[in-house]
Amino acid sequence: MGIVFSGFCYELQGLGKDGGGMIEPVQAQAIDRRAGVGSQQKKLDPSLEVQAGDSYKTLIQKKALSRFREM
C-alpha cells in the first residue's frame, strides 16, 4: 500500500530502523488543565461526596477516608 504525493509514492512503514514500529499516530486525550502527569478521573463512593449540610470535620473525614480507599 502506498500514498501518492505529487507523483511520488511513499510506502507506509512503521517507526524505527527496521520499520516494525507503530504506524498509527498516538491519539490525544483532553485532560483537566490543573491535573498533573498520570492524573485520572476517579469515581467517588456516593456516601463520601460532600453534602450541603456537612460540617468541616465531616468534610475532612470523608476526604481522608476516600484517600485511604484509593490505596
pTM over 0.85: no
What is the secondary structure of the chain as a DSSP string? -EEEETTEEEE---SSTTS-S--SPPPP----TT--TT----PPPGGGS--TT--HHHHHHHHHHHHHHH-
Domain boundaries, the chain: 45-71
Residues counted in the chain: 71
Per-residue pLDDT reduced to its tens digit, 15-66: 778 878 887 878 887 766 776 776 666 666 778 888 888 899 998 998 888 8
